[in-house]
Structure 1
Amino acid sequence: MTSSPLRGLVAAVALALMGTSSFAGVPRVVTDIPPVGSLVAQVMGDLGRPEVLTGKGADPHDLQLRPSQAVALAQADLVFWIGPELTPWLARALQGAGGRAKSVSLLHLPGTKTLDYSAGQGDPAAAAGDHDHAHDEGALNPHAWLDPDNARLWLKAIAADLAQADPAHAAQYRANAKEAEARVAQADARARQILAPVGTRPIIVYHDALGYFARHYGLHLAGSIALGDAATPGARRLADIRGLLAKGDAVCVFPEAGVDPRLVQTVTQGTKVKIGAPLDPPGTMLAPGPKLYERLIEGMARKIADCAG
């Protein structure tokens, strides 16, 4: 039997589709997470604003759509999202919405720089055989927005899709994207300058979301407390990380926004390692809007440099 929340969503989508007319003018756009919303907002400029499904403080990996969001998805002309590897709930919603939206998975665009999750890669603690993780070795890591090179590539693709959907404003979308690329490049350069004192000093993060950021800026990730987005580290995992810290194999450990900080306090207790400010890879704690992407990249750089620099 269909659950009440699901029945409500189905009804909302059906009503939305009944009132959907043929597309004309500036497209209705929906995005998954704040960084993608920020990139799209920059390309759309004054012409419109995308709806971001993952609101302030929400977990992008596990989200229940509100009826209003289901309606927005059903009425959308374009959906820009990372892909099912990050937001499987959105993959299911897109299948069930029955709308007319063109779905653009940025992670799978040609030219996107990708990384795989690799058990034990750059993570001595993982070699101890802990299996309380949510990712298989070789699975695609979806946190690709943390590489500014990908953001610049995606801006071009976003502009192309908007221009195709709305030819009357094609020149404006492309001009906005070019300006946004310059802003991302500037934020990238500032972040690189901020991180220069960190060098290859080893750091530990809460979960394995920073691979793209670390690769792009040449940081040394010594390990992560949790091995997956939804994984809760077990006692063996915590003991392995404590052993790594006791040997002095990391200078700083970073909690994650929205995650109980007590695990970080537990693994660092009795060691000399510093605890950094919480990192926020999906940017859900930042004010949404066009400037969010730049603030996310520079803000993470500052937090890492303040602790490990």
Structure 2
Amino acid sequence: MFRLALAASLVSSGAALAEAPHVSTDILPVHSLASRVMAGVGSPDMLVDPGASPHGYALRPSQAAALQDSDAVIWVSDSLAPWLAAPLDTLAADAVRLELMDVAGATTHPYRAEAVFEGHDDPDDPDEQGHDEHAHDHSGLDPHGWLDPVNARVWLSEIAETLADIDPENADTYRANAEAGRAELAALIADVEARMAPLADQPFVVFHDAYQYFETRFGLNSAGAISLGDASQPSVARVAEILAIMVERGVVCVFSEPQFNPGLVATVAAGTDARTGVIDPIGRGLEPGAAFYPALIEQVANAFEACLSGT
């Protein structure tokens, strides 16, 4: 459905590629959302190579040049890519900036440093949504907000309005693309909700805490995370906490990630009845472009469904 709607928007748009503003994005999911909004007008650049960690990155010369030419820069948050602040100031000082976790109406969650998780707040609780538009200190913010597709729907509209301000001639196209993308994601959300509902009582453990937004949105039961972050090794005490909670809660699945050695996950799962699965928060291996984002959410849902249900 997404691909058909995208093809229709490309055919119906009369805008020329040469008229497109220069837009830079940080990671694949953001690149995909910007691509959806820009369909028929142009294509955004991506600053972080697919497969690279967004937490620490050095721009290649071609990426630095793209950033310098940018009319707009769209990224998740300073807390996800703290290294981006300096090149933004030096190379793209005049570009319009859109930090997605700062967008009004976006759901945010605090960073969880503990090994064991207690439960989730309601993602539709007004206290969990948005924040002071002048507050740019994201200390303690979990930056993996793209894994809540409700956030992605909010961001599509904000990206469209940002680009409409820069490029009024193509404003109608940006807004129409965003609305089509929002409708597509609404259907995807409904489908994932139906698939995840039977799995709500199945506890699991993840390699690192990247999935809070997906878990909370779809009511899944995460018991804890083996590692504090994707670049750190867990302490012996933390692993012991995870092993204890696996027994206490009857964890049915332990998830690794494709870019990390699965040996630690296998060790944690050994001697228990827990299955092991693989899940990727950033969609390495998926084709970049407008269809990437819904494919990522589908892939994450598939991984949860397969391991939690044992199918």
Is the CA contact (8 Å cut-off) linking 1:191 and 1:302 kept in structure 2?
Answer: no
- Counterparts of 2:201 and 2:156, CA distance in 1: 30
**Equivalent position of 1:81 in the other structure:** 75
Q: Following TM superposition, by how much is the alpha carbon of 1:242 offset from its aligned partner in structure 2, in angstroms? A: 2.0
**Equivalent position of 2:108 in the other structure:** 114
Is the CA contact (8 Å cut-off) linking 1:58 and 1:284 kept in structure 2?
Answer: no
- Which deviations, in whole Å up to 9, do the C-alpha atoms of 1:155-188 show, x marking residues without a partner? 1100001111111111111001000101111111
Is the CA contact (8 Å cut-off) linking 1:75 and 1:100 kept in structure 2?
Answer: no
- Counterparts of 1:144 and 1:258, CA distance in 2: 20
Q: Following TM superposition, by how much is the alpha carbon of 1:236 offset from its aligned partner in structure 2, in angstroms? A: 1.7
Gaps of 5+ in 1: 1-23, 125-137
Q: Following TM superposition, by how much is the alpha carbon of 1:91 offset from its aligned partner in structure 2, in angstroms? A: 1.8
- Which deviations, in whole Å up to 9, do the C-alpha atoms of 1:247-286 show, x marking residues without a partner? 453110110121111110111111111001x211122332
Is the CA contact (8 Å cut-off) linking 1:194 and 1:302 kept in structure 2?
Answer: no
Q: Following TM superposition, by how much is the alpha carbon of 1:234 offset from its aligned partner in structure 2, in angstroms? A: 1.6
Distance 1:73 1:107, change over 3 A: same
Identical aligned residues as a percent: 43
Q: Does residue 1:69 correspond to 2:70, yes or no?
A: no
Q: Residues 33-112 of structure 1: matches in 2 within 5 Å?
A: 33-112=27-106
Is the CA contact (8 Å cut-off) linking 2:74 and 2:97 kept in structure 1?
Answer: yes
Q: Which amino acid aligns with 2:268?
A: V
**Equivalent position of 2:305 in the other structure:** 305
Is the CA contact (8 Å cut-off) linking 1:222 and 1:249 kept in structure 2?
Answer: no
- TM-score of the superposition, structure 2-length normalised? 0.83
Q: Which amino acid aligns with 1:38?
A: S
**Equivalent position of 1:151 in the other structure:** 152
Q: Does residue 1:32 correspond to 2:26, yes or no?
A: yes
Q: Report the RMSD for the aligned CA atoms in angstroms.
A: 1.8
- TM-score of the superposition, structure 1-length normalised? 0.84
Q: Which amino acid aligns with 1:54?
A: V
Is the CA contact (8 Å cut-off) linking 1:123 and 1:221 kept in structure 2?
Answer: yes
* Secondary structure of 1:72's aligned partner: helix
Distance 1:255 1:121, change over 3 A: closer
Distance 1:159 1:98, change over 3 A: closer
* Secondary structure of 2:39's aligned partner: helix
- Counterparts of 2:296 and 2:221, CA distance in 1: 20
Is the CA contact (8 Å cut-off) linking 1:31 and 1:51 kept in structure 2?
Answer: yes
- Counterparts of 2:95 and 2:104, CA distance in 1: 21
Q: Does residue 1:162 correspond to 2:156, yes or no?
A: no
Q: Which amino acid aligns with 1:166?
A: D
Is the CA contact (8 Å cut-off) linking 2:31 and 2:44 kept in structure 1?
Answer: yes
Is the CA contact (8 Å cut-off) linking 2:115 and 2:242 kept in structure 1?
Answer: no
Q: Which amino acid aligns with 1:223?
A: G
Is the CA contact (8 Å cut-off) linking 2:115 and 2:225 kept in structure 1?
Answer: no
Is the CA contact (8 Å cut-off) linking 2:115 and 2:238 kept in structure 1?
Answer: no
- Counterparts of 2:58 and 2:266, CA distance in 1: 30
**Alignment size in residue pairs:** 273
298-307 or 244-253, which moves further after superposition?
A: 244-253
Is the CA contact (8 Å cut-off) linking 2:115 and 2:227 kept in structure 1?
Answer: no
Gaps of 5+ in 2: 1-17, 119-138
**Equivalent position of 1:131 in the other structure:** none
Q: Following TM superposition, by how much is the alpha carbon of 1:98 offset from its aligned partner in structure 2, in angstroms? A: 4.5
**Equivalent position of 1:191 in the other structure:** 192
